């Protein structure tokens, strides 16, 4: 089983094969995805919302990203593990960006990092790539800029903003990125970007013409409690889990769990119940 690499991904694009990507934040789900054959596992800063219960991704820290990236990278055998660089870990200077990218590789065990932005992070991207760390870009709706963008909204609907997103994608490629996520843009814009780039595009809410697709795991498994237009819900894991929890509660309350088969029998020493229900060793 060969590892997915930057070169194998570019080869997939040349062959016209679609690249598959999902987010994961812990070992069990990362292992399941890897065994299912996904190409890229992104430890997204969406962990802030999907796992840590926050309203947006802005407060996610480097320590949190390293913690979750280590959990994922510890068990993945085939997929490429990409770690998101959190807000303010790469915007201040190319030097700080390189230092933090290095931490995600050395301490988190990631194979690559992802940065949101385009032209404005050209130098940061370049310095990370020159140090030998593969970079995935991210253009269109960039959630770390949600306050500037006015929320989580479709981007590139007007010709000015479409041009800006196209230029951002080109800048990402020119800086040396090996692929780029395109989030929440009209289908024709995603197609034009895909056709204009050598590196593969990975779409989320960007239609069918991208080189690959990514979804947030909690969305596609029905755990996040939201199903945006671009998400296909592949399972209702929240429903299954809630039923299991309710059944467990019922079983414990009705004393049907634990049953004999769930208990260690017989006890090593014979015990008898004494007053008040506490246990004491039998004297005889």
Contacts with ligand KIV, residue ranges (CB under 6 A):
23, 42, 44-46, 84, 138, 181, 183, 204, 214, 216
- Decide whether 175 or 216 has the Cβ nearer to ligand KIV: 216
Closest-by-Cβ residue to ligand KIV is 44
Give the residue among 225, 198, 227 at the shortest CA–CA distance from 215.
227
User: Cβ of residue 23: shortest distance to ligand KIV, in angstroms?
Assistant: 4
Whether 12 is a known active-site residue: answer: no
- Decide whether 42 or 62 has the Cβ nearer to ligand KIV: 42
- Decide whether 23 or 89 has the Cβ nearer to ligand KIV: 23
User: Cβ of residue 268: shortest distance to ligand KIV, in angstroms?
Assistant: 51
User: Cβ of residue 216: shortest distance to ligand KIV, in angstroms?
Assistant: 5
- Decide whether 60 or 105 has the Cβ nearer to ligand KIV: 60
- Decide whether 181 or 220 has the Cβ nearer to ligand KIV: 181
User: Cβ of residue 217: shortest distance to ligand KIV, in angstroms?
Assistant: 9
> Choosing from 63, 183, 208, 261, which is the catalytic residue?
183
Cβ-Cβ contacts under 8 Å for 79 (sequence gap 6 or more): 4, 33, 34, 38, 39, 40, 41
94 token code pair: 């190319």
User: Cβ of residue 17: shortest distance to ligand KIV, in angstroms?
Assistant: 20
User: Cβ of residue 272: shortest distance to ligand KIV, in angstroms?
Assistant: 58
Within 10 A of 56 (CB to CB), how many other CB atoms are there? 17
- Decide whether 211 or 281 has the Cβ nearer to ligand KIV: 211
59 token code pair: 């407060």
Residues serving a catalytic function are 183
């Amino acid at each position: 089983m060969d590892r997915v690499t930057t070169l194998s991904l570019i080869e997939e694009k040349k062959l016209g094969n679609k690249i598959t990507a999902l987010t994961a934040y812990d070992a069990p789900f990362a292992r399941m995805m890897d065994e299912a054959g996904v190409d890229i596992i992104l430890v997204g800063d969406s962990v802030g919302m999907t796992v840590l219960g926050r309203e947006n991704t802005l407060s996610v820290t480097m320590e949190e990203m390293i913690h979750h990236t280590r959990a994922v990278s510890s068990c993945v055998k085939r997929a490429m593990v990409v770690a998101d660089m959190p807000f303010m870990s790469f915007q201040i200077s190319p030097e700080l960006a390189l230092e933090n990218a290095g931490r995600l590789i050395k301490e988190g065990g990631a194979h690559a990092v992802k940065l949101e932005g385009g032209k404005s992070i050209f130098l940061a991207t370049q310095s990370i790539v020159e140090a030998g760390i593969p970079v995935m870009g991210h253009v269109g709706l960039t959630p770390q800029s949600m306050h500037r963008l006015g929320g989580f909204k479709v981007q590139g609907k007007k010709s000015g903003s479409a041009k800006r997103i196209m230029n951002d994608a080109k800048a990402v490629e020119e800086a040396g990125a090996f692929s780029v996520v395109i989030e929440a843009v009209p289908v024709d814009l995603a197609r034009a970007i895909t056709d204009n780039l050598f590196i593969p595009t990975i779409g989320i809410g960007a239609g069918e013409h991208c080189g690959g697709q990514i979804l947030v795991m909690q969305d596609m498994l029905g755990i996040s409690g939201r199903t945006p237009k671009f998400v296909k819900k592949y399972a209702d894991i929240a429903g299954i889990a809630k039923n299991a929890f309710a059944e467990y509660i019922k079983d414990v309350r009705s004393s049907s769990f634990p049953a004999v088969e769930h208990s260690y029998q017989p006890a090593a020493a014979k015990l008898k119940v004494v007053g008040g229900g506490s246990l004491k060793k039998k004297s005889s």
